[in-house]
């Protein structure tokens, strides 16, 4: 989820000072629109000091920007390897049938984790092909729009990719419109996800040394039984700050995190559909203490 979702104007949070932390972002290595290096450059230019790249099912973006021989990271920036796993809901009754687990500070060299992510990507590709076929059968073919996809960057083909193609083909007026009418749950192009369930995703992230964080789950205050089950599996954090949350939601989700002993996390969930990075971060408040808490838990140490 994400895709530039914004909090409603009423209740939208105005950062009391510039935000310097962003622990939820996407790049072209999944369904974002900025190259990993461009995301890092834009984030640093906007004042971010602690950044996590959390592409869906892949660490490729992180690997790209830390690859030997590449340009050095911007001075003063701490970059975390991250991932977002859209876990199928399993037995849980959850919105859109999914729970999204962000893994922060995972070990990019962990082979078992990489194998699990490769499996996720395979499922994602199969789902993408089945959804394309369903759209075609419904008279909403977007093969021409998808023909230009860079196959080297198809690590995490997702519904946003199909939604953008539907917009390009003139079937929808916006990505949100395409989700609402065609590729959202129950739409003519919709196919359920396959892959890891939430408990498996949490264990996989823990196995790779990362902190599993439940992302943009605004229903948290009324789902304590579910949260406790996730905590028992190893859930370590809750995304208290998200671009789509209004002040009331931040406060309620934050209270649940404190009560259950979960680390607070936060991010823009930036994909790049609607606005430049600087604009997205200017509308998102993530207190600096969020990074300190996550880094301390990862024993990365203080930001230089």
CB of 100 to Zn ion, least distance (A): 4
Tell me which residues in 89-148 interact with Zn ion (CB under 5 A).
100
Q: Is residue 253 a contact point for Zn ion (CB under 5 A)?
A: no
Does position 273 interact with Zn ion (CB under 5 A)? The reply is no
Q: Minimum CB separation from Zn ion for residue 213, in Å?
A: 11
Among 2, 82, 105, 212, binds Zn ion (CB under 5 A): 2
Closer Cβ to Zn ion, 99 or 208, answer by number: 99
Are the C-beta atoms of 18 and 47 separated by less than 8 Å? Answer: yes
Q: Phi/psi at 175 (nearest 5 deg)?
A: -60, -40
Residues in the chain: 304
CB 141 within 8 Å of CB 109: no
Query: Which region among 12-20, 88-96, 248-256, 261-269 touches Zn ion (by CB under 5 A)?
Result: 261-269
Report how far residue 150's alpha carbon sits from residue 120's, in angstroms, rounded to the nearest whole number. Answer: 20
Answer for which of 1, 167, 240, 256 binds Zn ion (CB under 5 A) is 1
In the bound complex, which residue of the shown chain has the CB atom lying closest to Zn ion?
A: 100
> Torsion angle of alpha carbons 93, 106, 196, 187, nearest 10°?
60
Can you read off the two tokens belonging to residue 52?
A: 């996590």
Quick check: helix, strand or coil at residue 99?
A: strand
In this chain, which of 55, 57, 110, 269 binds Zn ion, going by CB under 5 A?
Answer: 269
Closer CB to Zn ion, 1 or 20, in the complex: 1
Least separation in angstroms between CB 300 and Zn ion: 22
In angstroms, give the least distance from the CB of 207 to Zn ion: 21
How many other C-beta atoms lie within 10 A of the C-beta of residue 276? 13
- Residues contacting 84, CB < 8 A, separation 6+: 24, 26, 30, 54, 55, 56, 57, 100, 101, 102, 103, 215
Binding marks (x or -) toward Zn ion, 196..225, rule CB under 5 A? -------------------x----------
Give, as ranges, the residues between 49 and 88 that touch Zn ion (CB under 5 A).
84
Instruction: Give the pairing of strands 78-88 and 98-104.
Output: antiparallel
**Is residue 287 a contact point for Zn ion (CB under 5 A)?**
no
The residues binding Zn ion (CB under 5 A) are: 1-2, 84, 100, 215, 269
């Amino acid at each position: 989820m994400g895709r530039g979702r914004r909090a409603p104007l009423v209740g939208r949070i105005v950062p009391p000072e510039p935000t310097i932390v962003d622990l939820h972002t996407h790049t072209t290595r999944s369904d974002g629109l900025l190259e990993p290096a461009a995301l890092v450059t834009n984030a640093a230019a906007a004042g971010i000091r602690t950044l996590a790249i959390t592409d869906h099912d892949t660490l490729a973006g992180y690997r790209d920007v830390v690859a030997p021989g590449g340009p050095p990271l911007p001075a003063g920036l701490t970059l975390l390897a991250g991932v977002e796993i859209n876990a199928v809901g399993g037995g849980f009754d959850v919105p859109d049938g999914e729970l999204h687990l962000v893994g922060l500070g995972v070990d990019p060299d962990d082979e078992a984790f990489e194998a699990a992510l490769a499996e996720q990507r395979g499922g994602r590709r199969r789902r993408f092909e089945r959804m394309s076929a369903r759209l075609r059968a419904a008279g909403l073919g977007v093969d021409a729009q998808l023909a230009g996809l860079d196959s080297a960057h198809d690590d995490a083909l997702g519904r946003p990719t199909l939604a953008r193609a539907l917009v390009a083909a003139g079937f929808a007026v916006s990505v949100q419109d395409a989700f609402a009418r065609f590729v959202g749950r129950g739409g003519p192009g919709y196919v359920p996800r396959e892959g890891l369930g939430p408990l498996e995703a949490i264990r996989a992230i823990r196995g790779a040394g990362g902190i599993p964080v439940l992302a943009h789950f605004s229903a948290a205050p009324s789902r304590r039984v579910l949260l406790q089950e996730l905590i028992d599996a190893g859930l370590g954090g809750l995304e208290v700050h998200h671009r789509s949350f209004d002040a009331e939601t931040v406060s309620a989700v934050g209270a649940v995190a404190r009560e259950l002993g979960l680390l607070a996390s936060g991010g823009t969930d930036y994909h790049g559909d609607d606005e430049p990075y600087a604009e997205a971060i200017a509308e998102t408040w993530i207190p600096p203490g969020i990074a300190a808490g996550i880094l301390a838990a990862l024993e990365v140490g203080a930001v230089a």
